[in-house]
Amino acid sequence: MANDSWTERAARVLQDNYYPARLTLVRGEGCRVFDDEGRSYLDLIAGIAVNSLGHCHPAIVRAIREQSATLMHVSNLYRNPWSVRLAEEFATRVPGSRAFFCNSGAEANEAAIKLVRRHAHFKYGPARHVIVTAEASFHGRTFAALTATGQPKYWEGFEPLVPGFRYVPYGDLAALDAAVTDDVCAVLLEPIQGESGVRVPPPGYLTRAAKLCSERGALLVFDEVQTGLGRTGTFLACEADGVLPDVVTLSKSLGGGLPLGAMLARGEASSAFVPGSHASTFGGNPVACAAALAFLETIDADRLLDRVRETGDWFMEALRRLAILQPKITGVRGRGLLIAIDLAVPAKEVALAAEARGYLINAVQENSLRFAPPFIVTREELSGFLAVLEEILHRE
């Protein structure tokens, strides 16, 4: 059995909830990963926006090594300094915020959904419990996060869903205006929709959504699980729109590759939870928090947000130039290092061809490719990819 391929072994013992993987990755270093046959790939999707400092960044490795030899886990019956320090870091970046820590994006959204329901329950009464979310959104796979996800294909077979959700077309202010009635406790939006293909809302949408929520007593929650922590060139993507919501959820790159999620709440919302309202055994785990502190320190010390903006602008411009020469690229969009292109050919085939040439990219939709490379990716590396993309599209 030990001689069987990883593919056969995985098929025997792992459930079928993921599409079968083609590659078995065994090592990572900087922007590159290596498979079990020693082939190397430039990772332009970075664990789907997780490995923002690249793989095995020395600062993250050092923090994990030191912390795991000092204190690995205590329950939340006790305090640990690393979760307090991490929450302090957030409070300086998201003024007035108080943190709840968990282990994933779905859990962070689950916490946010519980928080906004509880806030409205005690302030206005139980009738005000509806949460408005967007069509084509993605918020995770736990039950409330799944219900918040406005994509019926993910609901199939799991109904009945959690009651009290209402869906609006993303970017449509008139629809949002009509949906936020006096039974709505919160509006939950991604500042840029990631999984549905890096969809950037029209200018002014988030600002007007914030105004509408504050006028009607509904809380505004931004799911920044994919867009946050510098991915789009600002600490939170919503900073580019000059909006700060009541609640923000984060995860993905936060733990530098370790599982960690955070739900940050400001103002009135920050005291909706009381002792016993919500909990997570591993929430605030010292090792994950130490890794997150190293991640935040590194993006500041190495001025990586500037680099994300510069490299992202350069890459988008290069993709736009390629689109002029190559009509099979029908659209380019994104911000910072969260970018997608639309294609006139199936994206999966292009991703497969790129993989065979040593580049990992993601077919996020049938006709769209997504790029979310590490912040440290270089123009030379991206230029190499652009040449390969041009060649693949020429042949397709």
Q: Which residues are catalytic?
A: 138, 223, 252
Q: Residue 251 interacts with ligand PLP (CB under 6 A)? A: yes
Nearest approach in angstroms of CB 288 to ligand PLP is 13
Cα-based distances in Å from 254 to 51, 71, 230, 246:
9, 19, 10, 20
Q: Which residue is nearest to ligand PLP (CB)?
A: 105
Specify which residues 131 forms β-bridges with.
Answer: 165, 186
Q: Residue 225 interacts with ligand PLP (CB under 6 A)? A: yes
- Is residue 156 exposed (0-12), middle (13-18) or buried (19+ Cβ within 10 Å)? exposed
Residue 269 to residue 353: CA distance in whole angstroms: 48
Cβ closest to ligand PLP, residue 142 vs residue 326: 142
Nearest approach in angstroms of CB 109 to ligand PLP is 6
Q: Residue 196 interacts with ligand PLP (CB under 6 A)? A: no
Q: Residue 140 interacts with ligand PLP (CB under 6 A)? A: yes
Beta strands in 103-245 (DSSP E): 130-134, 165-168, 184-189, 219-223
Q: Residue 234 interacts with ligand PLP (CB under 6 A)? A: no
Q: Residue 329 interacts with ligand PLP (CB under 6 A)? A: no
Residue 92 to residue 83: CA distance in whole angstroms: 14
Q: Residue 377 interacts with ligand PLP (CB under 6 A)? A: no
Q: Residue 106 interacts with ligand PLP (CB under 6 A)? A: yes
Q: Residue 195 interacts with ligand PLP (CB under 6 A)? A: yes
Q: Residue 226 interacts with ligand PLP (CB under 6 A)? A: yes
Q: Are 37 and 356 in contact (CB under 8 A)?
A: no
Q: Which residues contact 125 (CB under 8 A, 6 or more apart)?
A: none
H-state helical runs in 326-396: 347-356, 379-395
Nearest approach in angstroms of CB 227 to ligand PLP is 7
Contact region with ligand PLP (CB under 6 A), list: 133-141, 161-169, 177-185, 324-332: 133-141
Q: Which residues contact 5 (CB under 8 A, 6 or more apart)?
A: none
Nearest approach in angstroms of CB 141 to ligand PLP is 6
Q: Are 180 and 104 in contact (CB under 8 A)?
A: no
Contact region with ligand PLP (CB under 6 A), list: 25-33, 102-110, 157-165, 171-179: 102-110
Q: Residue 147 interacts with ligand PLP (CB under 6 A)? A: no
Size of the site for ligand PLP (CB under 6 A): 15
Q: Residue 104 interacts with ligand PLP (CB under 6 A)? A: yes
Q: Do the strands 338-343 and 329-335 form a parallel or antiparallel pair, or are they unpaired?
A: antiparallel
Residues that bind ligand PLP (CB under 6 A): 48, 104-106, 109, 138-140, 190, 194-195, 223, 225-226, 251
